Amino acid sequence: MGICDGRVVVVTGAGGGLGAAHAKVLAAEGASVIVNDINREAAQRVVDAIVAGGGKAVVNTSDITNYGDSENVVKQAIATFAGLHAVVNNAGINRDRMFASMTEADWDAIMAVHLKGHFCISSHAVHYWRDEAKAGRAVDARIINTTSGAGLQGSIGQSNYAAAKAGIAALTLNQAAELGRYGITANAIAPAARTGMTTAVESMATRMAKPDDGSFDYWAPENVSSLVAWLAASASAAVTGRVFEAEGGKISIADGWRSTAGVDKGDRWQPAEVGAAVKQLLEQEVPAQKVYGT
């Protein structure tokens, strides 16, 4: 018996890296998994591994950036496994450049895959769940988004990626606030793990290499997948609107923007007076975490 027995889960970008790990761990916990990836061969390898281990999974190659095509993921889940309980938005790419060198194409590609990609399948899933709720059928559904430390605190050379991931964090808060009435929770994860995107950077590949001595593999993507499996399970029904950070054996909650007590004059500030007010605010603030790379 696994914590996801009877659950049907879509995982995007599941042909490798974190997505493949999520799919395999979810299946091992009893979920029926739709393995979505534009690379059919990669997705099929993940499905084959799941089936060989006694799990249930099917391949889906829909384009998550295409609103019409992404509906086919939801349709396939319902047609194959008679329902849908969770969407794990994982797919992502990198187009890293310093802001001064970034092109419009660099920006648009990241926004399409990350931000729009998080919208498309989730939108169709929500329509299905809302209809179920309105028909009087019980809904116990999950949206699990993927943000990043880059989106939470910024990252040098990744302004497009950081902006998209910050947008995903804000999207998660809105989804949680709006969709609870239908039995849907929304949470996000900010993972730190060994993936195709991290190992493409030589220094990171070296730092995140799997240990040869059989000790705890700190950067293994499966470390993050345990959190994803729990969030997809019925047991997490009371948790929504949270951003979880997962790295190695550590799970933490990322605290969001908060308003400080502020400085209130009780009247309009004259432009020349603002500097003193800002100085006082800065002296009282709790400093934010530093931008990655600074």
DSSP 24-80: HHHHHTT-EEEEE-S-HHHHHHHHHHHHHTT-EEEEE---TT-HHHHHHHHHHHHHH
* Of the candidates 147, 154, 153, the residue with the CA atom closest to the CA atom of residue 172: 147
Question: How high is the pLDDT of residue 288?
Answer: 83
Positions marked active-site: 148, 161, 165
Question: How high is the pLDDT of residue 218?
Answer: 85
Contact 243, 169 (CB under 8 A): yes
Q: Assess whether pLDDT exceeds 90 at residue 89.
A: yes
Q: Assess whether pLDDT exceeds 90 at residue 176.
A: yes
Q: How far is CA 5 from CA 33, 206, 220, 234, 271, in A?
A: 11, 37, 24, 9, 62
Q: How far apart are CA 183 and CA 167, in angstroms?
A: 23
Q: What is the pTM of this model?
A: 0.93
Q: Which of 43-57, 135-149, 172-186, 245-259 has the lowest mean pLDDT?
A: 245-259
More confident residue, 131 or 1: 131
pLDDT, the chain, mean = 93
Q: Please report the domains of the chain, with CATH numbers, ordered by start residue.
A: 8-253 (3.40.50.720)
Both tokens assigned to 110: 């990241």
Across the range 249-266, mean pLDDT stands at 91
Contact 123, 178 (CB under 8 A): no
Q: Which of 75-89, 185-199, 226-240 has the lowest mean pLDDT?
A: 185-199
Q: How far apart are CA 36 and CA 42, in angstroms?
A: 10
CB within 8 Å of 170: residues ≥ 6 apart = none
More confident residue, 93 or 68: 68
The torsion defined by the Cα of 116, 130, 171 and 70, in degrees rounded to 10, comes to: -10
Q: How far apart are CA 208 and CA 218, in angstroms?
A: 8
Q: Assess whether pLDDT exceeds 80 at residue 259.
A: yes
Across the range 114-140, mean pLDDT stands at 98
In the chain, what percentage of residues exceed pLDDT 90? 81
Question: How high is the pLDDT of residue 195?
Answer: 75
Q: How many CB atoms lie within 10 A of CB 138?
A: 7
Across the range 51-69, mean pLDDT stands at 98
CB within 8 Å of 180: residues ≥ 6 apart = 240
